[in-house]
Amino acid sequence: MAQSIADRRDQEFVLHEMLDASTLANHELFEDFNKKTMDMVLSEARNLAVKELLPINKDGDEQGCTLENGNVRIPESFHRAYKLFCEGEWLAMCDDTQFGGQGMPQVLATTAGELFTGANCSFLMYPGLTHGAGKLVEAFGTKDQKERYLKNLFTGKWAGTMCLTEPEAGSDVGNLATIAKRNEDGTFTIIGNKIFISGGDHELTENIIHPVLARIEGAPAGTKGISLFLVPKYRLNDDGSIGQANDVVCTGLEKKMGIHGNSTASLSFGSKENCIGELLGKENKGMKAMFVMMNEARLGVGMQGFGFATASYINAVNYAKERTQGTDLLKIFDKDPKPVAIINHPDVKRQLISMKANVDGMRALIYYTALCFDKVKIAETKEEKDKYDGLIELLTPIVKAYCTDRSFEVCTQGVQIYGGYGFIREYPQEQLLRDCKITSIYEGTNGIQAMDFLGRKLGLKKGKPIMDLLGEINKTIEAAKKTDGLEIMAGKVELAVNKLGEVAMHMGMTAMSEKVLDAFATAHPFLDATGDVLMAWLELWRAVVAAPKIEKAKKKDVAFYQGQVKTAQYFITWVLPATMGKMEALQGNIPAIMEMPDAGFAG
């Protein structure tokens, strides 16, 4: 059975019918990207994803990466794919054409990114991290650094990484031990070790540029004393060509549960005290600078989780339609009952609609967040720009944490639909499940995302972003109230939104009181409930768009539009009541969590 990656019809629905993204072409910045061009881009992206990236995904999983005699080897099939990916200029889709980008809208790039990620996440991590490193140079580099590094990164000629984590400084980055010693020529000698570096070493490109967090000798302790450095695997000559090795050594590759095709490395910088780095940005401002890359990576990880989920869902739907087993329950007492496709069994259909509701909601959430980036770029007033900047900041931890949690659930259901075959490596579902798990862990665990959401994002700009978001939701509710058949669902979502407002106020106040630990003990359930309410909003929005089109739709589209309404009905009438219960519990603070004595746990 052929594997799939994403529902093109639903991608087009969100992009064009919900978000009306082609109207971005009305603005000079995106005038080349009308609907026809957007569809052409997606067709090309799908061709690359289906024909080149998806077929080598299993290679990445089975062959993995190896370290032999100091050299890292990745799956051989990745080399051709990388060449094609770079030739198609897919690495810097949204970036300045001057440096090798395509200048396309973020929402279009995100739609293409779903296809690439769903096809082969391990592969996409190489260009993905390279792009993030390039954005750091673009944001904080000197003119000379941009000239030497930026185009080489954005075109994929060189690769990039992100070097934060150390053996004793994982989530607590401020505890890092890597040091930077000043040199007379203005460069720095970097000495330290980094672990869990995705794409940390490989032979895909002629050079790898490592953005490295380190502390200049004498700098303050904690995050206040961290600086950011560009450390190439091979030094650059004065003319920009590749020079000698830079004392950056891969000391090991992790043996992981999933994403085997990506070389997750331990790196030693300056073991011979001959590793040279150059400051990127200002001294002691490295952590603030690195957040540019980290925020991009967090949205990217949300997309990774979603890519696994949408692939698992499409595989499950196709399998359920083709796999015949068991009898139709309504014909079980017939004389000679025939086996039916398992999609006819009520419990299978329940699982599929649950998967669909999550995938549909996540797609809309991720695309909407991407569109906010485009709205920032074309904003005509500071007020409008600030609004969409605020929404991006607010939604980033939700996209990262909520989407990755839900994606793992979807991938689990994807295995279940296949039954015993889902547990077998011959079929794609178990790899998707294994690969998906890391997404709730790296780039800041989901617990940390929840703490960020409660501790910083909720009160951002005196609560304006959360109020702006609730305002957007209320627009959809009002439209739903005026749409035949959606009035009851609109009322349920309105109750949930009002409840969320109350809970957000309660959580914010509790976090500033003597019960602060109780608040942060329930930060993750609070983010989870917020995500549920956003999903209800987005499902309702889908229904508002689809419902009026059912009667006039072409025959091939009728079931699709009906599916939008039924999925919204499922989520709002089945999932949302449980969310209301969660929010009721959150208002009680759940003190048992912090009152539990350590000795009360097993062991």
> CA–CA distance from 557 to each of 42, 296, 354, 511 (Å)?
20, 35, 21, 48
Query: What whole-number distance in Å separates Cα of residue 479 and Cα of residue 540?
Result: 10
List % helix, strand, coil for the chain (3-state, nearest 5). 65, 10, 25
CA angle 372, 377, 380 (to 5 degrees): 105
Query: What whole-number distance in Å separates Cα of residue 259 and Cα of residue 262?
Result: 6
Q: How many helices (H) and strands (E) does the chain have?
A: 20, 14
Query: What whole-number distance in Å separates Cα of residue 378 and Cα of residue 23?
Result: 12
Query: What whole-number distance in Å separates Cα of residue 314 and Cα of residue 428?
Result: 11
DSSP 249: E
443 catalytic? Reply is: yes
Query: What whole-number distance in Å separates Cα of residue 297 and Cα of residue 19?
Result: 24
Sign of the four-CA dihedral 142, 147, 152, 158:
negative
Sign of the four-CA dihedral 221, 226, 231, 236:
negative
> CA–CA distance from 425 to each of 1, 40, 329, 429 (Å)?
14, 35, 31, 8
Query: What whole-number distance in Å separates Cα of residue 272 and Cα of residue 275?
Result: 8
Sign of the four-CA dihedral 63, 69, 72, 78:
negative
SS3 255: coil
β strands within 204-350, DSSP E: 208-216, 226-232, 234-236, 242-245, 248-253, 265-269, 276-279, 324-327, 339-341
End-to-end CA gap in the chain: 47
DSSP 163: B
Name the residue with tokens 């419902």: 547
Query: What whole-number distance in Å separates Cα of residue 392 and Cα of residue 387?
Result: 9
Tokens of 470: 């609730």
DSSP 169: B
Contact yes or no for 137/146 (Cβ under 8 A): yes
Tokens of 129: 């991290």
User: One of 52, 430, 443, 539 is an active-site residue; which one?
Assistant: 443
Contact yes or no for 233/245 (Cβ under 8 A): yes
Pairing of strands 265-269, 248-253: antiparallel
Core vs surface per residue 460-497: b (16+ CB within 10 A) or e: ebeeebbebbbeebeebbebbeebeebeebbebbbebb
Pairing of strands 159-160, 226-232: unpaired
| HSE-up of residue 346 (Cα within 13 Å, Cβ side) | 2
Query: What whole-number distance in Å separates Cα of residue 179 and Cα of residue 188?
Result: 9
Bridge partners, 179 (sequence order): 191, 215
Q: Which residues are catalytic?
A: 443
